[in-house]
A and B are shown apart, each in its own frame.
Chain A
Amino acid sequence: MTMKALDIYKILPKKNCKECGDPTCLTFAMKLSQGKADPALCPYLDDNAKSVLGASTRPPIRLVKIGVGERNIVVGEEFVFFRHEKTFVHQPGILFRVEDTQPEDEIRRIVREVKNETFTRVGIDLRIDGVAIGNTSGSPEAFGKAVEIVESEADLPLVLKAASVAALDAALVHCGSYAPLIHAGDPGNVPEFAQRALKHGCPIAVRPKEFSGLAALIKQCTDAGVQDIVIDLVPADLGDFLAKSTRVRKEALARTAPEYAYPVFLETRDLGKADAGTYLGILKFASVIVTDPLSPAQKRAALTLRQNIYTDPQKPIQMTPGIYRVGNPTKDSPLLMTVNFSLTYFTLQGYLEATRIPCYLLLVDTEGLSVLTAVASGKLSEMLVRDSLKKFDVENLVSHRDLIIPGYASPLSGRIEDATGWHVLVGPRDAAEIGDYLDNLGKQ
């Protein structure tokens, strides 16, 4: 049960001592209610408060980190079932798998792809996050060698799919201090694997024979002192993963079963298809996804899907304000102004490209608000337009002084003219009509 801020406040010391890092107990209480603070930060909690808060305010899913450095993978601390309830927090790490039976140059090629290739969308670089190494040969030496090759090629988060303790040890020689994810503690090896995890400070995945064996396996880890765990649900196919992952997320949020309070691990080979498996994992709560290398098309689709699903619904992505070009516009080309809400931009840009009329797009900074919202809230104002025209030196871009504004911004048309001295043309309300609009304009 999540507690309300007011109820939490009632059991806090109310000293406003600021030792927790927050200026007031009220602020601390609000953070606790969202699972965004640790009760342990308060040195003056009485025992009752400690037990009540401990149980109810810790994040329902543990935070787990894989890898070190700037490309590490951070997952967990999710607190909703549907993204629309608030937002998903930590996007899943996606790792490409190599085998210790593959030739060295093949391994290197894949590692380089993960290291170097980025795909930029909306100003954000999207990348695959790391490499998983499979101990397909069964041999500890081969495994160790493969890990060494990977490590020599790049500093990336790793998943070690060791087939034996010896193989695991061989691998950890090369990467033990870089917090790789050990996959997996199973009923046959968990004491040893857990011990390695503890020794090296690595997170560990647990994989029971059957789903029902999860609780026992986790307990063995936590008893051994290992807390950073991810859970492999051993899915039989796509439908099975959906059902199990749904259950795990529900129970984690309801805090009804401690074995579910961990991020979910998914190996797409269990599901048969790398693309479908990766997409489903992204949609349904997987936090660590290991997949055979995806084709360029599959990779882009997966990275875009991940970006979409893990965008905070209340903080839509913004475009950088400024001038955008469609085609190769010249000094006589039309100039259109609109807001920097990414969806507005993409929609409009798509229709503009279809018209094949080269033009300039001036995106003004409405902090990501849509046209309607920006007009209604006053964020889109004649001052903003005037300042943007100046800031982006638009007067030197085009030789004419005609500015086309979105249809819903029509109430501002006169004021924009007065403030900027430009001639304002009111465009359509629906972006789909921009083609016809520009055609008609051209004919006049």
Chain B
Amino acid sequence: MTETTSSEWTGTIDQVILGATKEEGGTRSCSYRIGGESDLPLLGTVPAGIRQPLIAFELCDDLHAWPQIVRHYVGDVADDPAAWSALAGKEYGADLIRLYLTSTHKRGFSDFNAVGTTVADVLRATSLPIIIEGSNEPDIDSEVFQSCGEAGQGERLLLGTAEASRYRSIAAAALAYGHSVVAQSPIDINLAKQLNILLRETGLPHDRIVIDPYTGALGYGFEYTYSVMERIRFAALKGDSDLAMPMICSAFDSLNVKEVRDAEPDLRDDAAVQWEFAAALAAAVAGSEIVCVRHPKTIPLLKEALSALNSGVRRAGGESP
């Protein structure tokens, strides 16, 4: 069979900065630098200052399509995205907040001022760097991303999610207000590459892109994502600069799967946590620099595991991981 592993890596993953501290022009308590690898995930040496994989806690501003199990576990605070974000930082231990503006997914949505207000509120409530997920309807993309981008100006947000058929508004917001972009493709390495090229053609620099390969839940297509991630990372290390970006994974369907829904009520949280944990851990092993979860209890497990996984990674300059 063909040999495919090689110690002749010629490529390095771009470094993307998330969040901006006061010195950097923002109001975050810290900023993160991800990427920078020149070897397979969690092996070899990374530049000083890199911190990964990061754990993002996902929450939303409208629970209508959110997994019920989260609401059950979290309680009423889920109705207040700002308070929930604060909790996620202080209690859950997340590294980042990923705010889904699910209110914009409702048919006929047009309250764009509210979008800006929500983003501003969340930015005030938590000092963690933030990922903002905007509309999923192309017709309102322009206004929604403009509001998000403006509200977060200077904070180096990560804005989501660009796809091949709709990326202009999100690229515009990133360019206008200094943010980065999540670029999603349907589990296909060539489409991932194409989208990165299209984004760069808008003028977006290559170190403001994070690749989202679209993550199927464990047992529901996860292995497709896992393999496409390994392929993307391999191609990048072999010198393909159009794929040399950090990756983000969110197996967001995990809490909706049959195995979780059908579990005994007192075992349901465990089922949910393990389903998310396994996928997130595997995604990190495949190279994802940001892994996302929705159940608060997943975070401590993941934190511990990711820290242990990093034990072999050397930092340039002898810094401890």
Interface residues of A (CB under 8 A from B): 2, 34-35, 79-86, 121, 236-240, 242-243, 246, 250, 253-254, 271-273, 275-276, 279-280, 283-284, 295-298, 300-302, 304-305, 307-309, 311, 313, 343, 346-347, 350, 353-354
Residues of chain B contacted by A354 (CB below 8 angstroms): 256
CA distance A302 to B271 in the complex (A): 11
Contacts of A353 in B (CB 8 A): 258
In the complex, the answer to whether A276 meets B270 with C-beta atoms within 8 Å is no
Q: Which of B272-303 contact A (CB under 8 A)?
A: 273-275, 277-278, 281-282, 285, 301
B270 engages A295 (CB within 8 Å):
yes
Q: Is B313 an interface residue (CB 8 A)?
A: yes
CA distance A279 to B277 in the complex (A): 9
Instruction: Report B-chain residues with C-beta under 8 Å of the C-beta of A275.
Output: 274, 277-278, 301
A253 / chain B contacts, CB cutoff of 8 Å = 3, 5
Residue contact B1 to A239, C-beta cutoff 8 Å: no
- Given that A297-B271, A343-B221 are known contacts, is A279 also in contact with B311, CB under 8 Å in the complex? no
Residues on the B chain within 8 Å of A311, using CB:
223
Closest A residue, CB atoms, query B270: A297
Residue from the set B1, B227, B271 with the largest chain A CB neighbour count within 10 Å: B1
Given contacts A82-B4, A304-B219, A343-B221, whether A238 and B257 have CB atoms under 8 Å apart is no
B231 & A236 in contact (Cβ 8 Å cutoff)? no
Closest Cβ of chain A: how far from B218's Cβ, in Å? 5
Chain A nearest CB, measured from B241 CB (Å): 21
Residues of B within 8 A of A271 (CB): 308
Q: Is B221 a contact of A250 with CB atoms below 8 Å?
A: no
6 closest A-B pairs (Cβ-Cβ)?
A: A239-B311, A308-B223, A238-B308, A239-B312, A297-B270, A297-B274
Chain B, interface SS category: helix
CB distance from A297 to the nearest CB of B (A): 4
- For residues 193 through 236 of chain B, which have their beta carbon under 8 Å from a beta carbon of chain A? 216, 218-224, 226-228, 230-231, 234
- B129: min CB distance to chain A, Å: 25
- In the assembled complex, 6 residue pairs joining A and B whose CB atoms fall closer than 8 Å, in A order, are A80-B1, A82-B231, A246-B40, A276-B304, A307-B219, A308-B219
Additional A-B contact list (11), CB under 8 Å, known A279-B281, A300-B271, A305-B218: A81-B4, A82-B230, A85-B1, A237-B311, A253-B3, A276-B277, A296-B271, A297-B267, A298-B274, A308-B222, A343-B216
Closest to A247 in B: B43
Which residue of A2, A280, A305, A343 has the most chain B CB atoms within 10 A of its CB atom?
Answer: A305
Chain B residue, CB-CB nearest to A33: B1
Interface centre among A80, A304, A307 (most CB of B within 10 A): A304
In the complex where A82-B234, A298-B274, A347-B221 touch, is A243 in contact with B312 (Cβ < 8 A)?
A: yes
B114 at interface, CB cutoff 8 A: no
Contacts of B2 in A (CB 8 A): 2, 85
CB-defined contacts of A81 to chain B, threshold 8 Å: 4-5
Interface majority SS (helix, strand, loop, mixed), chain A: helix
Q: Which residue of A lies closest to B278 (CB)?
A: A301
Supposing A275-B277, A283-B282 touch, asked if A300 and B4 sit within 8 A by C-beta, the answer is no
Known: A238-B309, A240-B312, A298-B274. A350 touches B4 (CB 8 A): no
User: Which residues of chain A have C-beta atoms less than 8 A from B4's C-beta?
Assistant: 80-82, 85
Bound: A79/B309 CA distance, A: 25
Q: Is B94 an interface residue (CB 8 A)?
A: no
Most buried by A among B259, B273, B274: B274
List the count of A-B residue pairs having beta carbons below 8 Å apart.
143
Please measure, in the bound complex, the distance between the C-alpha atom of A284 and the C-alpha atom of B43, giving whole angstroms.
Answer: 13
Beta-carbon contact of A86 and B1 below 8 Å:
yes
Pair A301/B220 contact, Cβ less than 8 Å: no
Q: What residues of chain A lie closer than 8 Å to B277, measured between beta carbons?
A: 275-276, 279, 301
CA distance A236 to B310 in the complex (A): 12
What's the minimum C-beta distance from B79 to chain A, rounded to whole angstroms?
22
Q: Are A346 and B221 in contact (CB under 8 A)?
A: yes
* Closest A residue to B44 using CB positions: A243
Which of chain A's residues have a CB closer than 8 A to the CB of B80?
Answer: none
Which residues on A sit within 8 Å (CB–CB) of B141? none
* Closest residue on chain B to residue A238 by CB atoms: B308
Most B C-beta atoms less than 10 A away, residue of A82, A121, A295: A82
- The one of B218, B256, B275 that contacts A350, using a Cβ cutoff of 8 Å: B256
The answer to whether A242 touches B285 (Cβ under 8 A) is yes
| Chain B residues with CB below 8 A from A237, complex form | 308, 311
Bound Cα distance from A353 to B68, whole angstroms: 14
Q: Which of B1, B219, B273 contacts A79 (CB 8 A)?
A: B1
- Is the CB of B242 closer than 8 A to any CB of chain A? no
Tell whether, in the assembled complex, residue B310 and residue A239 are in contact, meaning their CB atoms are under 8 Å apart: yes
Tell me if A242 and B221 are in contact (CB < 8 A). Answer: no
How far apart sit A78 and B257, CA to CA, in the bound complex (Å)?
32
A254–B7 Cα distance when bound, in Å, is 12
Check: B316 CB closer than 8 A to any chain A CB.
no
Q: Does chain A have a CB within 8 A of B305?
A: yes
A301–B263 alpha-carbon span in the complex (Å): 13
Cβ-based interface call for B253 (8 A): yes
Which residues of chain A are near B304, meaning CB under 8 Å? 273, 276
A280 touches B285 (CB 8 A): yes
Known contacts A243-B43, A305-B282, A343-B220; is A84 also within 8 Å of B230 by CB? yes
Task: Say yes or no for B42: interface residue by CB 8 A criterion.
Answer: yes
Chain B stretch 91-146: residues in CB contact (< 8 A) with chain A: none
CB neighbours (8 Å) of A279 from chain B are 277-278, 281-282
Residues in A neighbouring B309, C-beta threshold 8 A: 238-239, 242, 280
Known: A242-B42, A275-B301, A350-B220. A283 touches B1 (CB 8 A): no
Distance in Å from the Cβ of A195 to the closest Cβ of chain B?
A: 36
**Minimum C-beta distance from B50 to chain A (A):** 15
Q: Is the CB of A309 within 8 A of B223?
A: yes
A273 contact set on B, CB distance < 8 A? 301, 304-305, 308
Across the interface, do B274 and A276 meet the contact criterion of CB distance under 8 Å? no
- Report the minimal beta-carbon distance from B203 to chain A, rounded to whole angstroms: 30
- On whether the beta carbons of B253 and A350 are closer than 8 Å, the reply is yes
Q: How far is the CA of A246 from the CA of B6 in the complex (A)?
A: 12
Contact of B42 with A300 in the complex, beta carbons under 8 Å: no
Complex Cα distance, B301 from A297, in Å, reads: 14
Residue of B nearest to A272 (CB): B308
- Cβ–Cβ contact A250 & B5, under 8 A: yes
Select from chain B the residue with minimum beta-carbon distance to A119: B259
State whether A236 touches B221 (Cβ < 8 A). no
Q: Which of B218, B270, B285 contacts A284 (CB under 8 A)? A: B285
In the complex, chain A residues whose CB is within 8 Å of the CB of B1: 2, 34-35, 79-80, 85-86
Nearest Cβ on chain B to A169's Cβ, whole angstroms: 37
Known: A84-B230, A308-B223. A236 touches B311 (CB 8 A): yes
Structural contact, A313 and B311, CB atoms closer than 8 A: no
A246 pairs with B43, CB closer than 8 A: yes
Q: Give B282 Cβ to nearest chain A Cβ, in Å.
A: 6
The CA-CA distance from A346 to B312 in the complex, in Å, is: 38
Collect the chain B residues with CB atoms within 8 Å of residue A34's CB: 1
